[in-house]
Amino acid sequence: MNNKVVFITGATSGFGRATARRFAQAGWSLVLSGRRTDRLEELKKELAGQAAVHIATLDVRDADAVAAMVAALPAAFRPVRCLVNNAGLALAPIPAQKVVLKDWHTMIDTNVTGLVNVTHAVLPSLLETGAGASIVNLGSVAGSWPYPGGHVYGATKAFVQQFSYNLRCDLQGTGVRVTDIAPGMAETEFTLVRTGGDQAASDKLYRGTTPLTAEDIAEQIFYVATLPDHININRLEVMPTRQAWSAFAIDRDPA
């Protein structure tokens, strides 16, 4: 078994699943978590011929469950060399004044609390690994660039960025690296989740352009995690070539 272990949250779809496949291709051992057991089992079956795989059904919002899962990791899957905090979601792409409060809470509980829960639980293992260990947090360009309907989602990703920076300060001297990877438009299940399963809305968003793919981001995560031990990428903002910023919105009086 390869002594390099990667721990990936939200491994059942999108960036997480593509990242699991990329690390498996390189022979890393995998700890994969997510809320959909059937998908975890399918992924384990798919990757078992390439790498050792340990799966665990997990809701990252539950701090006790996260701590118990990490404590119960088989000896062969520790210490962890790379933690990929990928679990997250966006909901309610509508004006803030129309959002149901529960949707805000769900985003905060998953994107902020969940990330903190997992990081805190896995950190001792990363510190045990020391030089070359990496924490890769999945942020978003939404954490830096506001847009209508971004409200709490963008705010949670701003947290990811600042938490990553502050964590890096605290880990100075331990050898553990921290990176905030901030993707722009990427075609995954993200928009389906955000729109409540509206396939037409998802198709419309990506129609006529060339978005990033889950595999594009997985490649960047793998790159960051396999750099020489003395290199730390603090933040990596990745956008499709066909996506850029837009002009400020101006509210004007009627003509």
All structural domains of the chain, each given as residue ranges with its CATH number in brackets, are 5-238 (3.40.50.720)
What is the spatial distance between Cα 134 and Cα 84, in angstroms, rounded to a whole number?
8
What is the spatial distance between Cα 161 and Cα 155, in angstroms, rounded to a whole number?
10
pLDDT beyond 80 at 25: yes
pLDDT value at position 255? 85
Q: How many CB atoms lie within 10 A of CB 50?
A: 15
Could you report the per-residue pLDDT of 163-206, keeping only the tens digit for each?
Answer: 999 999 999 999 999 999 999 999 887 776 777 777 887 888 88
pLDDT value at position 77? 97
Mean pLDDT of the chain: 95
What does the pLDDT average to over 21-26?
98
Give the model's confidence band at 223: pLDDT under 50 very low, under 70 low, under 90 confident, else very high: very high
pTM: 0.94
DSSP structure string for 172-232: TTT--EEEEEEE-SEESTHHHHHTTS-HHHHHHHHTTS--EEHHHHHHHHHHHHTS-TT--
pLDDT value at position 160? 98
pLDDT beyond 50 at 209: yes
Could you report the per-residue pLDDT of 82-91, keeping only the tens digit for each?
Answer: 999 999 999 9
What does the pLDDT average to over 229-244?
97
Give the model's confidence band at 2: pLDDT under 50 very low, under 70 low, under 90 confident, else very high: low
Burial class (CB in 10 A: 0-12, 13-18, 19+), 214: buried
Q: How many CB atoms lie within 10 A of CB 251?
A: 4
Helix (H), strand (E) at residue 17: helix 14-25
pLDDT beyond 80 at 62: yes
Could you report the per-residue pLDDT of 118-160, keeping only the tens digit for each?
Answer: 999 999 999 999 999 999 999 999 999 999 999 999 999 999 9
Which residues carry out catalysis? 153
pLDDT beyond 80 at 98: yes
pLDDT value at position 1? 46
What is the spatial distance between Cα 126 and Cα 228, in angstroms, rounded to a whole number?
16
